[in-house]
Chain A
Amino acid sequence: MPLSLEDQLDIMELMARYNHAIDSSQPEAWADTFTEDGVFEGSAGKVSGREEMLAFVRNRDQSNPIRHWNNNILIDGDGDDATAKVYLVTFDVTGPPEVRITGMYHDTLKRVDGQWKFTHRKVRADG
Protein backbone atom coordinates (compact mmCIF):
# COMPACT_ATOMS: atom_id res chain seq x y z
CA MET A 1 0.00 0.00 0.00
CA PRO A 2 1.50 3.37 -0.97
CA LEU A 3 2.39 5.78 1.81
CA SER A 4 -0.46 8.02 2.85
CA LEU A 5 -0.24 11.79 3.27
CA GLU A 6 -0.21 11.16 7.02
CA ASP A 7 2.76 8.79 6.70
CA GLN A 8 4.66 11.44 4.77
CA LEU A 9 3.88 14.16 7.34
CA ASP A 10 4.83 11.79 10.17
CA ILE A 11 8.18 11.01 8.53
CA MET A 12 8.91 14.70 7.98
CA GLU A 13 8.05 15.32 11.60
CA LEU A 14 10.37 12.51 12.71
CA MET A 15 13.19 14.32 10.88
CA ALA A 16 12.30 17.54 12.69
CA ARG A 17 12.26 15.75 16.06
CA TYR A 18 15.65 14.21 15.28
CA ASN A 19 17.07 17.69 14.67
CA HIS A 20 15.52 19.19 17.80
CA ALA A 21 16.84 16.25 19.85
CA ILE A 22 20.42 16.44 18.59
CA ASP A 23 20.54 20.25 18.77
CA SER A 24 19.28 20.36 22.35
CA SER A 25 21.42 17.35 23.35
CA GLN A 26 18.68 14.96 24.43
CA PRO A 27 20.21 11.47 24.16
CA GLU A 28 16.95 9.56 24.80
CA ALA A 29 14.90 11.67 22.40
CA TRP A 30 17.55 11.23 19.70
CA ALA A 31 17.83 7.46 20.22
CA ASP A 32 14.02 7.24 20.18
CA THR A 33 14.00 8.35 16.54
CA PHE A 34 15.69 5.02 15.65
CA THR A 35 14.44 1.45 15.86
CA GLU A 36 16.01 -0.74 18.58
CA ASP A 37 18.48 -2.10 16.02
CA GLY A 38 18.86 1.22 14.21
CA VAL A 39 22.18 2.37 12.75
CA PHE A 40 23.53 5.90 12.35
CA GLU A 41 26.46 6.40 10.01
CA GLY A 42 28.18 9.76 10.31
CA SER A 43 31.61 11.21 9.60
CA ALA A 44 32.94 9.66 12.83
CA GLY A 45 31.76 6.15 11.93
CA LYS A 46 28.85 3.87 12.77
CA VAL A 47 26.70 4.00 15.87
CA SER A 48 24.25 1.17 16.50
CA GLY A 49 22.03 0.05 19.34
CA ARG A 50 20.55 2.14 22.12
CA GLU A 51 23.59 2.28 24.44
CA GLU A 52 25.95 3.45 21.71
CA MET A 53 23.39 6.01 20.58
CA LEU A 54 22.93 7.49 24.04
CA ALA A 55 26.71 7.67 24.45
CA PHE A 56 27.08 9.28 21.02
CA VAL A 57 24.88 12.22 22.01
CA ARG A 58 26.35 12.52 25.52
CA ASN A 59 29.90 12.58 24.16
CA ARG A 60 29.31 15.04 21.34
CA ASP A 61 31.32 18.22 21.34
CA GLN A 62 28.90 20.75 22.79
CA SER A 63 31.24 23.72 22.94
CA ASN A 64 29.27 25.46 20.19
CA PRO A 65 25.48 25.34 19.79
CA ILE A 66 24.53 23.84 16.41
CA ARG A 67 21.29 23.76 14.49
CA HIS A 68 20.52 21.05 11.92
CA TRP A 69 18.24 22.13 9.07
CA ASN A 70 16.60 19.98 6.42
CA ASN A 71 15.09 20.75 3.07
CA ASN A 72 14.08 18.98 -0.14
CA ILE A 73 12.71 15.95 1.66
CA LEU A 74 11.99 13.10 -0.79
CA ILE A 75 10.15 10.09 0.60
CA ASP A 76 9.39 6.78 -1.11
CA GLY A 77 7.77 3.81 0.45
CA ASP A 78 5.19 1.16 0.72
CA GLY A 79 3.31 -0.27 3.68
CA ASP A 80 5.55 -0.14 6.73
CA ASP A 81 8.82 0.58 4.89
CA ALA A 82 10.19 3.80 3.50
CA THR A 83 13.35 5.43 2.20
CA ALA A 84 14.18 9.12 2.17
CA LYS A 85 16.72 11.57 0.85
CA VAL A 86 17.07 14.89 2.62
CA TYR A 87 19.28 17.94 2.24
CA LEU A 88 21.12 18.96 5.40
CA VAL A 89 22.78 22.19 6.44
CA THR A 90 24.12 22.81 9.92
CA PHE A 91 24.65 26.23 11.44
CA ASP A 92 26.91 27.23 14.30
CA VAL A 93 24.65 29.62 16.22
CA THR A 94 27.06 30.82 18.86
CA GLY A 95 26.74 34.25 17.29
CA PRO A 96 25.20 35.21 13.96
CA PRO A 97 24.59 31.84 12.30
CA GLU A 98 27.44 30.42 10.24
CA VAL A 99 27.15 27.45 7.91
CA ARG A 100 29.18 24.53 9.24
CA ILE A 101 28.48 21.68 6.84
CA THR A 102 26.12 20.82 4.03
CA GLY A 103 25.25 17.33 2.94
CA MET A 104 22.55 14.77 2.50
CA TYR A 105 20.89 12.12 4.62
CA HIS A 106 20.12 8.73 3.09
CA ASP A 107 17.49 7.08 5.25
CA THR A 108 15.64 3.84 5.54
CA LEU A 109 12.64 3.79 7.85
CA LYS A 110 10.20 1.36 9.31
CA ARG A 111 6.86 1.72 11.01
CA VAL A 112 7.01 0.07 14.43
CA ASP A 113 3.89 0.01 16.64
CA GLY A 114 2.36 2.77 14.55
CA GLN A 115 5.39 5.08 14.72
CA TRP A 116 7.89 5.74 11.95
CA LYS A 117 11.54 5.34 12.99
CA PHE A 118 14.90 5.30 11.25
CA THR A 119 16.42 1.86 10.77
CA HIS A 120 19.43 3.37 9.03
CA ARG A 121 20.48 6.98 8.68
CA LYS A 122 23.63 7.81 6.77
CA VAL A 123 24.91 11.33 6.36
CA ARG A 124 27.13 12.20 3.43
CA ALA A 125 28.82 15.58 3.69
CA ASP A 126 29.26 17.61 0.51
CA GLY A 127 32.66 18.32 -0.93
Chain B
Amino acid sequence: MTKKLTSCQIGEKVRVYSFLMNEHKSKRLMDMGLIPGTIVEITRIAPFGDPVAIKVKGFQMSFRKQEAEEVLVKGLNE
Protein backbone atom coordinates (compact mmCIF):
# COMPACT_ATOMS: atom_id res chain seq x y z
CA MET B 1 0.00 0.00 0.00
CA THR B 2 1.32 3.42 -0.90
CA LYS B 3 0.95 6.45 1.33
CA LYS B 4 2.02 10.06 1.30
CA LEU B 5 5.38 10.98 2.77
CA THR B 6 3.55 13.42 5.06
CA SER B 7 1.66 10.59 6.73
CA CYS B 8 4.89 8.99 7.98
CA GLN B 9 6.07 9.28 11.56
CA ILE B 10 9.29 11.10 12.34
CA GLY B 11 12.05 8.51 12.20
CA GLU B 12 10.01 5.98 10.21
CA LYS B 13 11.99 4.54 7.31
CA VAL B 14 10.10 4.12 4.03
CA ARG B 15 10.87 3.60 0.35
CA VAL B 16 10.09 6.21 -2.34
CA TYR B 17 7.52 4.84 -4.76
CA SER B 18 6.49 7.64 -7.13
CA PHE B 19 5.78 11.34 -7.52
CA LEU B 20 2.44 13.10 -8.00
CA MET B 21 3.99 16.50 -8.74
CA ASN B 22 4.88 17.86 -12.17
CA GLU B 23 8.16 16.68 -13.61
CA HIS B 24 9.83 20.08 -13.35
CA LYS B 25 9.75 19.65 -9.57
CA SER B 26 10.32 15.93 -9.33
CA LYS B 27 13.43 16.20 -11.52
CA ARG B 28 14.99 18.47 -8.92
CA LEU B 29 14.18 16.05 -6.09
CA MET B 30 15.53 13.13 -8.12
CA ASP B 31 18.74 15.06 -8.93
CA MET B 32 19.28 15.36 -5.19
CA GLY B 33 18.91 11.62 -4.73
CA LEU B 34 15.22 11.17 -3.96
CA ILE B 35 14.86 8.42 -6.55
CA PRO B 36 12.04 5.84 -6.61
CA GLY B 37 13.34 2.84 -4.65
CA THR B 38 15.45 4.93 -2.26
CA ILE B 39 14.99 4.69 1.49
CA VAL B 40 13.88 7.97 3.04
CA GLU B 41 13.02 9.12 6.53
CA ILE B 42 11.48 12.32 7.92
CA THR B 43 13.95 13.60 10.49
CA ARG B 44 12.22 16.72 11.73
CA ILE B 45 9.59 19.35 11.10
CA ALA B 46 10.35 23.07 11.28
CA PRO B 47 9.07 24.96 14.35
CA PHE B 48 6.22 26.62 12.43
CA GLY B 49 5.07 23.17 11.19
CA ASP B 50 6.50 23.51 7.70
CA PRO B 51 8.83 22.61 5.90
CA VAL B 52 10.00 19.09 6.69
CA ALA B 53 13.56 17.79 6.79
CA ILE B 54 14.31 14.36 5.39
CA LYS B 55 17.29 12.08 5.34
CA VAL B 56 18.12 10.45 2.06
CA LYS B 57 21.31 8.75 0.88
CA GLY B 58 23.13 9.83 4.03
CA PHE B 59 22.42 13.54 3.96
CA GLN B 60 19.66 15.86 5.08
CA MET B 61 17.53 18.04 2.86
CA SER B 62 14.38 20.01 3.31
CA PHE B 63 11.28 20.83 1.31
CA ARG B 64 7.74 21.89 2.04
CA LYS B 65 4.80 19.75 3.10
CA GLN B 66 3.11 20.66 -0.17
CA GLU B 67 5.81 18.68 -2.00
CA ALA B 68 5.97 15.95 0.65
CA GLU B 69 2.25 15.41 0.05
CA GLU B 70 3.13 14.58 -3.55
CA VAL B 71 5.77 11.97 -2.78
CA LEU B 72 4.25 8.50 -2.53
CA VAL B 73 6.10 5.96 -0.38
CA LYS B 74 5.79 2.32 0.66
CA GLY B 75 6.83 0.40 3.73
CA LEU B 76 10.28 -1.26 3.56
CA ASN B 77 8.86 -4.79 3.40
CA GLU B 78 6.20 -4.13 0.82
**A and B form one complex:** no
